[in-house]
Structure 1
């Protein structure tokens, strides 16, 4: 699969599926903004060992339920691979709002 060279955000970058997306994007010379819960945690070391990661991978501390932390990771990206699933510490009153494609977070113009 060929991916247009650019900058992409991958949510949940440390997860199994997302790690493969990160690897693919890096292999296509893309810049990757990966969201993780704690970029300093050693459990994400596998991402930092990927080819081209030292030049093209930046990990962002993000929480899917925190709009601002996601905006920081997505800012300047050409696309988003939304692979993560939110894990709220409390009950979410409207869980559909988190993944709704009409949410303002999903509009490119909002992030530029």
Structure 2
């Protein structure tokens, strides 16, 4: 239930940072015409700061950033995490705490996790 409450904010923050990253890339590409090395260094720093800020915001919401842009959430099931990644509209996967993204499995019985798939 907690995961569903914060998912809309996770999606919003993720979409915002992706848009900012795209804008930074466009700026870097135009600046490279004048000074390629400085433009690349500036871009790399901006990207690192944006991704760090995104990660910190996700943690403040009570979730776990796992790479960019995948987020794990606490589950009611011991040793199990709920998993969302950019492009998904709902939390529909899970994995054990010692597993990673490639081990994700579809949630077959959402009632076990105390939530429905709807964001409404």
TM-score normalised to structure 2 length: 0.24
By relative contact order (CA 8 Å, sep 6+), the higher-ranking structure is 1
**Higher-Rg member (1/2):** 2
TM-score, normalised with respect to structure 1: 0.25
Structure with more helix by fraction: 2
